[in-house]
A and B are shown apart, each in its own frame.
Chain A
Amino acid sequence: MIEHKSDKFSQEIIKNALVAIGDEMFEAMARSSMSPIIYEVLDYSVGLTTKDGDLIAQGNGTTVFLGMIDALVKEIIEKFGAKGEIKPGDVFISNDPYYGTHLSDVALAKPIFFEGALVGFAVNKAHWVDVGGMTPGSFTPASTEIYQEGLQIPTMKVMEEGKVLQPVLDLIAANIRMPKESLGDFWAGVAANNVGAERLVMLYEKYGADAMAAAMEGLLDYGEAMIAEELKKLPKGVFEAEDWIDDDGQGEDPLRVCVRIEISDDSFKVDFTGSAPQALGPINHGRTALVAAVRTIFKALTNPQIPSNGGCFRALEIVCPDRTVFTAERPAPVSTYWETMLYAEDLIWKAMAEHLPDRLTAGHVLSVCAFILSATHPETGDDVILVQPLVGGWGAMSDRDGLNGQFSVADGETYNIPVEIQEARYGVRVKQYALHNEDGGEGKFRGGKGVYLDYEILCDQAHFSGSFGRFKFPPWGAAGGAKGSSNYVELIRQDGSEDAREIYGKPSRVQMKKGDIVRCVTATGGGWGDPCERSEEALEDDLKNGFITEEQAARFYRRRPAAE
């Protein structure tokens, strides 16, 4: 058999094996989960860290968790490691949002031992469909304190030396609305971690502790080297951008956010000083989410393909004062954190887009546009909570149109829930799922199309909440392209009781009756380049496919209608 004498080769082999472990954990979690938000939307993440909490391999459904797995492990080490309380068979649980995203995302971590010594952690973090609080589905645009957003689980043990701490599970079950699903997901998470732990131990058995330790350290250096290579190619200097968040859900005023980026040959420094202070409404997030956001865009700018590990981010420096919307502290509400977290990415994106036209598009849908529809299934009489993010339009690039109907950059390997499954499981009726051609996104290359998703309510009474950011400030255009269209929700009352159009950016527990239609509308992305430069051929194609109307062609592209 081939022993791998040369470190260069064995490290590649171990790296591939670690990536395979991440994949396996990821699949184990999806396939045994009880909730569509996990098994269809894949709103979760799995990973392995070193014993010191450095990220070694991560399997992601979404980008938002990049960097959160290691933050959690570092907290476990700090809280339990010093006292010698990390033991084989332990499982830690946490949903502390200031070390993560929001209370809905629950993390499980399992320490991994080889020959009696701690060698690493297997971790996963997944969106539970409900964690209690003032609203079914837990996230809400209406909260003003963390206490309204659900049960807080500080980092603690839920299994001790292989034994489940039943009182902990009982306490959790008593405080959440869908205990059966969520405890099913708890076991799915435990299983995924077990798989990761078993496979890592097998690698240790094969290569030995010393070689593994060297390989892991080598991996981190490798991540750093690969990124350093790309960093050199980025444009150098100072880049700035500012933008506006619609509002905090409590008041009407927009919130200003801004970034100053300083790129040199070996460092990438971002400074968010000057951004709005932490808000009364739940659009805030903690510093960990800021780090994850910046890491994500940094990876997109440098090397999107190599597996993420802690070494990839050594050149990164993030500056932001305490208690801004990006660095909120307890007890600030955070349940719709993504609205702000994505702005941290988007600011850097906007500042760099025209300087890196082969890596970046014009502004895209940005908001996750997640909503909660709580209703009664008309056939079974069961209470149901439909939670899902929506697809929208992506921005154009310097050489092509934007993508139609694609999840926000916050998501990734995220799947929409099939209409046939939504109707069977939630007892709603979907009237259309279609690309729209609202004004916006015109350009030499046009922004990708957003969608209309219409639900007809079939039960007597239902409630709708959601957070559709970029309701007031649509996605930005680049190089002379037009801005995109807005994200919003429109309610169409069956009885015609409302005269004016009923339109929301942050609907909160809006009541609906049988026959009412809720139309979710996502943005068309920003355009790139002057619309007058759009080719005749492309315009004809757009008209033929119904992506623009004759009227829009004349108005935005100065195209004369074809002679009859």
Chain B
Amino acid sequence: MRVATDVGGTFTDLVCIDDDGIRITKSDTTPPNFEKGVIRVLEKADIDPARIDDFVHGTTVVINALLSRRGAKTGLITTRGFRDVLEIARGNRPDLFNFAFKKPAPFVPRYLRHEITERMDYLGRVVEPLALDEVDSIVAALKAEEVEAVAICCLHAYVNPEHELAIEARVRELWPDVSIIASHKVCGEWREYERTSTAVLSAYVHPIAKGYLASLDEKLTARGLSGKPLIMRSNGGVATVEGARNDPISMVESGPASGVLGAAALGVQIGEPNLIALDIGGTTAKTALIENGAAKITTSYKIEWDRTNPGYPIRTPVVDLVEIGNGGGSIAWVDKGGRMHVGPQSAGSQPGPAAYGRGGEHITTTDANLVLGRINPKLFLGGEQEPDWDSIDRAFEPLIEALGETKEDIARGVIGIANANMVNALKLVSLNRGYDPREFALIAFGGGGAMHAVALAEELMTPKVIIPVNSSVFSAWGMLMCDLRRDFLKTEVKTLNAGAADDIEAAYEAMEAQARETCLAEGMPADAMRIERFADMRYAGQEHTVKVPTPHKRLDDAALQELTKAFHALHMREYTFQLDSDVELVNFHIVVFADIDKKQLPPLPVTGRALSEAQKGVRKVDFGADGVHDTNEYDLSLIEPGMKIAGPAVLEDPTATIVISPGKRAHMDDYGNIHIQMRAS
């Protein structure tokens, strides 16, 4: 039996696969002791932990600690002359015309940032030896301030980590129980601010993550779990508990990552390797591109970053996704110039959309979907509550007054604007990076994915939409499709000229040997390990790089030429031109996988039921420009593989609503996924 639990903002989801098929269960999330909710959802699903072969877990404990500033009191040890790097940051001010700008405060205040005498040059040669004895007084000062975690970042440590290692060892010796993060262990790339920030934020969340993982492990073991839990990471793989503890920041975006990886895995199983994945939740929508069954990974991740805030960089491998402030709870509002906007403010779950009747005074995307008949009032909130129509009407009044339009027109406008915002995000991951959406299928999940997908696909011109089975808990399901994975990146600039191959091969091999050692120590099974190579490449003189998959074979001059060719082509696709300048390899990137024996999605049974038996009735649904139509309502739980449905139609159960506009045709595949063809042919 394989079980995944995904701790979300509101619910803790559970997905279980065994020989009997799939089971899903939801339970409330229980901050701040999230592990309680995990135990509770196991109990609610009536699962005996002793029968579980693999237990995969995704948690928001890291991102919550960061966003709510509830991490540990953290100190920093850094090269003499550079303690203010963390505070100066990059000096940028995205809110260009705001002269009352507020710069984000550093996670470590100045008095806890200590300098130590030492210096490397950019080639990793020691310019000034390390004054190791200075560590003693620094530790004493940090102890006196009751610091709980220490980050270490020395200039050029990505080239030569000797000094960081020596400082780390000495701190450990003096202070065995403090959390310590040395920058080169969590980020092997250059740029001292970004590496310092990554180390500091890692240290900041380390005590909490460590405590949480220990508590979870202990509670599960006490209930009979024989193995160790596997922990979801932002890179789309899972980690052992040990691995997650060493690099806790790697869990920062685990939820979105598992959804994308689930989409990739599902795509491979059903023969759709090229997908644009879209996850619409309550507050935000997230989208990522999957090419040939693989999602892209980036280390240019930031938290709290937006148009007005520079945020904080965390250079940990994260699935490359775009997130925007548009979800079911996004609020519609009118500005002083008379324009309507949707989001990024969200009504959340408290007070929630106006329809909840809990005091929500604003119209949200969900309310507009209700007014247009897309959401079935009888199935609202899982069928547990009627929408509060009076509350909706009250919330519409100010919009009607400001815009002079009818309720229905405004509702159409809300959906139109929300969809357009999402289409812009979908274009960012596809068109903007040189991919033609017409060569991809749109796979949509999360609470709102199924409802908006067809309209979005139309605008984006993707030929097909896929709504996966159990789409509302798809992220948890995705965790069961992930292998063990750890990424290692290291900046080392090499020009790809003739004769460079041996050097480059040696660098990869050295990295791989070290990576294997780390992974073994963290409990990855040696016999299942496999390694993939990537190279971040650029034209000499450029800064930003393009990630190129590298053949995993001994690199010789011919292989380098191939690699260079692949780089030219990728650069052409992303930036519309190529140059005949020298090509450089900037970051060596290797990925260690250990494959997990995953259960495939089991086929759904077919009883031979007629489609008419799944039909519940007919209701009026507003499809915008396609008009208002009498629309067949189907019970999604009664739809069987092979059934064909013609739009206009709505397929629904208490967790999902699939809206199919007139002229579109849908069918269910063997596993319960709904495929919607956007073109007649």
With both beta carbons as reference points, the residue of chain B lying nearest to A425 in the complex is identified as: B122
- Kindly supply a per-residue 1/0 record for chain B positions 95-117, scoring 1 wherever the CB is within 8 Å of any chain A CB and 0 otherwise: 11111111100000111000000
With both beta carbons as reference points, the residue of chain A lying nearest to B419 in the complex is identified as: A2
A residues 161-195 near B (Cβ < 8 Å) are 180-181, 184, 187-188, 190-191, 194-195
Contact of B575 with A by CB under 8 A: yes
Nearest Cβ on chain B to A224's Cβ, whole angstroms: 9
With both beta carbons as reference points, the residue of chain B lying nearest to A28 in the complex is identified as: B575
Main SS class of interface, B? loop
With both beta carbons as reference points, the residue of chain A lying nearest to B190 in the complex is identified as: A420
Q: In the complex where A225-B336, A423-B121 touch, is A1 in contact with B576 (Cβ < 8 A)?
A: no
Chain B residues closer than 8 Å to A229, beta-carbon distance: 336-337
Contact of A349 with B by CB under 8 A: yes
A226 CA to B421 CA in the complex, in Å?
A: 21
A2 touches B455 (CB 8 A): yes
Q: In the complex where A403-B103, A546-B110 touch, is A416 in contact with B625 (Cβ < 8 A)?
A: no
A299 touches B97 (CB 8 A): yes
B98 touches A300 (CB 8 A): yes
Contact of B403 with A by CB under 8 A: yes
Q: In the complex where A28-B575, A349-B99, A359-B99 touch, is A432 in contact with B542 (Cβ < 8 A)?
A: no
A515 CA to B122 CA in the complex, in Å?
A: 18
Chain B residues closer than 8 Å to A16, beta-carbon distance: 417, 420-421, 424
B residues 555-584 near A (Cβ < 8 Å) are 571, 574-577, 579, 581
With both beta carbons as reference points, the residue of chain B lying nearest to A24 in the complex is identified as: B432
Chain A residues closer than 8 Å to B85, beta-carbon distance: 419, 433
- Kindly supply a per-residue 1/0 record for chain A positions 474-515, scoring 1 wherever the CB is within 8 Å of any chain B CB and 0 otherwise: 000000000000000000000000000000000000000000
A31 touches B458 (CB 8 A): no
B88 touches A433 (CB 8 A): yes
- Surface stretch bound by A, among B30-38, B47-55, B408-416: B408-416
A2 CA to B422 CA in the complex, in Å?
A: 14
Contact of A415 with B by CB under 8 A: yes
A residues 398-430 near B (Cβ < 8 Å) are 403-407, 409, 411-416, 418-421, 423-424, 429-430
With both beta carbons as reference points, the residue of chain A lying nearest to B90 in the complex is identified as: A415
Chain A residues closer than 8 Å to B427, beta-carbon distance: 20
Nearest Cβ on chain A to B108's Cβ, whole angstroms: 11
A195 CA to B101 CA in the complex, in Å?
A: 31
Contact of A434 with B by CB under 8 A: yes
With both beta carbons as reference points, the residue of chain A lying nearest to B412 in the complex is identified as: A2
B residues 178-201 near A (Cβ < 8 Å) are 190-194
B337 touches A13 (CB 8 A): no
- Surface stretch bound by A, among B76-84, B502-510, B634-642: B76-84
Chain B residues closer than 8 Å to A79, beta-carbon distance: none
Contact of B173 with A by CB under 8 A: no
B403 touches A419 (CB 8 A): no
Contact of A555 with B by CB under 8 A: no
A430 CA to B417 CA in the complex, in Å?
A: 50
Q: In the complex where A6-B409, A229-B336, A415-B92 touch, is A432 in contact with B82 (Cβ < 8 A)?
A: yes
A407 touches B81 (CB 8 A): no
- Surface stretch bound by A, among B240-248, B338-346, B603-611, B650-658: B338-346
Chain B residues closer than 8 Å to A300, beta-carbon distance: 97-99
A184 touches B579 (CB 8 A): yes
Contact of A296 with B by CB under 8 A: yes
B193 touches A418 (CB 8 A): yes
Contact of B57 with A by CB under 8 A: no
Contact of B46 with A by CB under 8 A: no
Among A28, A299, A405, the residue within 8 A (CB) of B88 is A405
A409 touches B99 (CB 8 A): yes
B98 touches A305 (CB 8 A): yes
A359 touches B100 (CB 8 A): yes
A6 CA to B579 CA in the complex, in Å?
A: 46
Among B103, B155, B417, B543, residue most surrounded by chain A Cβ atoms (within 10 Å): B543
- Surface stretch bound by B, among A34-42, A87-95, A250-258: A34-42
Chain B residues closer than 8 Å to A435, beta-carbon distance: 84, 87-88
B337 touches A222 (CB 8 A): yes
Chain A residues closer than 8 Å to B102, beta-carbon distance: 403
A545 touches B110 (CB 8 A): yes
Contact of A383 with B by CB under 8 A: no
A30 CA to B538 CA in the complex, in Å?
A: 13
A3 touches B624 (CB 8 A): yes
Chain B residues closer than 8 Å to A40, beta-carbon distance: 543
B111 touches A545 (CB 8 A): yes
Nearest Cβ on chain B to A374's Cβ, whole angstroms: 17
Chain B residues closer than 8 Å to A75, beta-carbon distance: none
Chain B residues closer than 8 Å to A297, beta-carbon distance: 99
A residues adjacent to B (C-beta < 8 A): 1-6, 8-13, 15-17, 20, 24, 27-28, 30-36, 39-40, 42, 60, 62-63, 180-181, 184, 187-188, 190-191, 194-195, 199, 222-223, 225-226, 229, 296-297, 299-300, 304-306, 308, 349, 358-361, 379, 391, 397, 403-407, 409, 411-416, 418-421, 423-424, 429-435, 451, 454, 544-547
B residues adjacent to A (C-beta < 8 A): 80-85, 87-103, 109-111, 121-123, 127, 155-156, 158, 190-194, 308, 335-341, 403, 405, 409, 412-413, 415-417, 419-421, 424, 427-428, 431-432, 455, 458-459, 493, 539, 541-544, 571, 574-577, 579, 581, 623-626, 661
Interchain residue pairs A-B with the least CB separation, the first 8: A2-B624, A3-B625, A432-B81, A405-B88, A412-B96, A391-B91, A9-B413, A304-B97
Name 6 A/B residue pairs within 8 A (Cβ), A-sorted: A2-B625, A39-B542, A188-B575, A415-B92, A429-B127, A433-B84
